[in-house]
Amino acid sequence: MRIHKEGLKTIVVSVIIVAVINLLTLFLITPRFPILGWVFSIGTFILLLFILSFFRIPRRNHHEGDEEIVAPCDGTVVVIEEVEPDEYFNEKRLQLSIFMSPLNVHVNRNPVSGKVVYSKYHPGKYLVAWHPKSSLENERHTVVYKNSDKEVLVKQIAGALAKRIVNYLKPGDQVKQGDEMGFIKFGSRVDLLLPLDSDIKVKLNQKVKGGVTILASW
Spatial separation of the C-alpha atoms in residues 137 and 125, rounded to whole Å: 6
Buried b (16+ CB within 10 A) or exposed e, 53-66: ebbebeeeeeeeee
Report CA-CA distances (Å) from 54 to 38, 74, 128, 157, 174: 24, 12, 18, 17, 28
Question: Could you tell me if 105 and 74 are in contact, meaning their C-beta atoms sit under 8 angstroms apart?
Answer: yes
| Catalytic residue status for 217 | no
Q: What is the DSSP string of 122-156?
A: E--B---TTSTTHHHHB-EEEEEEEETTEEEEEEE
Active-site entry in 113, 188, 198, 217 = 188
CA 171 distance to own-chain centroid: 21
54: enclosing H helix or E strand: helix 34-54
Integer Cα distance of 190 and 195 in angstroms: 17
- In terms of Cα–Cα distance, which of 147, 85, 80, 78 is closest to 110? 147
Question: Phi-psi region for residue 195, left (φ > 0), alpha (ψ -120 to 50) or beta?
Answer: beta
Active site amino acids: 188
